[in-house]
Amino acid sequence: MTARGCGKVRGVGPEILEAGVAAIARAAELIRAGDLVAFPTETVYGLGADATSDAAIAAIFAAKDRPTFNPLIVHFADPRAASRQVAFDARARLLAKSFWPGPLTLVLPRRESCRISLLTSSGLDTLAVRVPGHPIAREFLAAAARPIAAPSANVSGRVSPTTARHVVDSLDGCVSLILDGGPCEIGIESTVVDLSGGPALMLRPGGVSREAIEAVIGGIAEFGGGDAPAKSPGLQDRHYAPDRPLRLNATRAHAGEAFLGFGRDAPKSLPGDVMNLSPSGNVDEAAANLFAMIRALDRKGISAIAVAPIPDHGLGRAINDRLRRAASGDA
């Protein structure tokens, strides 16, 4: 039996290696050969491929069952490597200086000489670029000596992976090697800011807060409105979804529901499963726990996962964005 469109046999399982020097060298070799390698970043685990190879990029879309109109983020070892492929303006330089390496993605115009596969950016004349901060990701990028396109290492539309185990559960035979670097520190995807023309536009809240970005480049417009789908084709859909429905802004669980709490006041014991994103009410801690706890509560036999309200500041905005989209379409 094959899994999705990746052509590999389910159950044959990927190689999982603790990310030391030899494992990173092997991962880099596989990338250069056109294979898919999952690796840790400070946000979530990425499913990486050589961004200059049409065939390798096509394999990412197949493995994730991701619509090809949803463009990928390309990761670089350093800002200089990124600036060879896309054009930075003054705002982009300021943001890169402030937040790279780190969980910020910039959408910038492709240079005419850009070597990144057009499939990566779904034929758009812009490209999403990032220099990640995780030491394993950086060593891997340096060893591969080429840009690596990497969406989250999960089937399209489902919960993102924050451990190597989650990647195995999500993609199984579709990935050649998983570099295991332990749990991801931030646990939520990068912030995506579009600087490809006109005012800065926040396409996706994420690991760098809006407040931190505005402190560097001033006010930034919110994604939405008429041209939104054309600007970022992947942001419309239901996404991050567990198997069971989510019920948001819940103060308690109904019979049959699991409960995902936040802060001191969250109930500790209920008849069903209960977890707390952050007993001390810290949104950064909650972001780091979000996807792993949703996965843990998403079990057969429950009717829904009831989720407590999360404050809408700092990384809380990114959490609420993920929760809203995970719940969209649920009754």
Beta carbon of residue 206, minimum distance to ligand AMP (angstroms, whole number)? 9
Q: Residues near 51 by Cβ (< 8 Å), separated by ≥ 6?
A: 57, 72, 74, 116, 117, 120, 146, 147, 148, 149
Question: Cβ(1)–Cβ(163) under 8 Å?
Answer: no
The interface mask with ligand AMP, positions 56-75, x = CB under 6 A, is: --------------xxxx--
For Mg ion, the closer of residues 152 and 232 by Cβ is 152
Q: How far apart are CA 2 and CA 221, in angstroms?
A: 44
Which residues, numbered 171-200, are part of the site for ligand AMP (CB under 6 A)? Answer: 189, 192, 194
Which of the stretches 9-17, 148-156, 241-249, 313-321 binds Mg ion when contact is defined by CB under 5 A?
148-156
Residue 317 is a binding residue for ligand AMP (CB under 6 A): no
For ligand AMP, the closer of residues 197 and 256 by Cβ is 197
Q: Which of 249, 171, 240 is nearest to 204 (CA)?
A: 240
Could you say which of Mg ion, ligand AMP, none residue 272 binds, taking C-beta under 5 to 8 angstroms by partner kind? none
Q: What is the CA radius of gyration of the chain?
A: 19
Which residues, numbered 73-132, are part of the site for ligand AMP (CB under 6 A)? Answer: 73, 107, 121, 124, 126-128
Could you tell me the sign of the dihedral formed by the alpha carbons of 94, 97, 101, 103, in that order? negative
Could you say which of Mg ion, ligand AMP, none residue 232 binds, taking C-beta under 5 to 8 angstroms by partner kind? ligand AMP
For ligand AMP, the closer of residues 68 and 280 by Cβ is 68
Beta carbon of residue 133, minimum distance to ligand AMP (angstroms, whole number)? 16
Q: According to CB under 5 A, which one of 52, 121, 152, 162 is a site residue for Mg ion?
A: 152
Could you say which of Mg ion, ligand AMP, none residue 70 binds, taking C-beta under 5 to 8 angstroms by partner kind? ligand AMP
Which of the stretches 142-150, 152-160, 286-294, 308-316 binds Mg ion when contact is defined by CB under 5 A?
152-160
Residue 85 is a binding residue for Mg ion (CB under 5 A): no
Q: Which residues are registered as beta bridge partners of 178?
A: 16, 38
Question: Cβ(15)–Cβ(178) under 8 Å?
Answer: yes
Residue 162 is a binding residue for Mg ion (CB under 5 A): no
Question: How is the beta sheet containing 304-307 ordered, strand by strand?
Answer: 246-247, 304-307, 257-261, 274-276
How distant, in Å, are the alpha carbons of 91, 127, 246, 301 from that of 88?
A: 8, 11, 40, 51
For ligand AMP, the closer of residues 25 and 217 by Cβ is 217
Look-up of token digits 């050969």: 33
Residue 287 is a binding residue for ligand AMP (CB under 6 A): no
- Identity of residue 111: R
Beta carbon of residue 195, minimum distance to ligand AMP (angstroms, whole number)? 11
Residue 121 is a binding residue for Mg ion (CB under 5 A): no
Beta carbon of residue 25, minimum distance to Mg ion (angstroms, whole number)? 27
Q: How far apart are CA 328 and CA 302, in angstroms?
A: 19
Which residues, numbered 223-252, are part of the site for ligand AMP (CB under 6 A)? Answer: 231-235
Beta carbon of residue 35, minimum distance to ligand AMP (angstroms, whole number)? 19
Question: Cβ(72)–Cβ(49) under 8 Å?
Answer: no
Residue 316, judged by CB atoms within 10 A of its CB (0-12, 13-18, 19+), counts as buried
Q: According to CB under 6 A, which one of 101, 109, 151, 272 is a site residue for ligand AMP?
A: 151
Residue 170 is a binding residue for Mg ion (CB under 5 A): no
Q: How far apart are CA 125 and CA 109, in angstroms?
A: 6
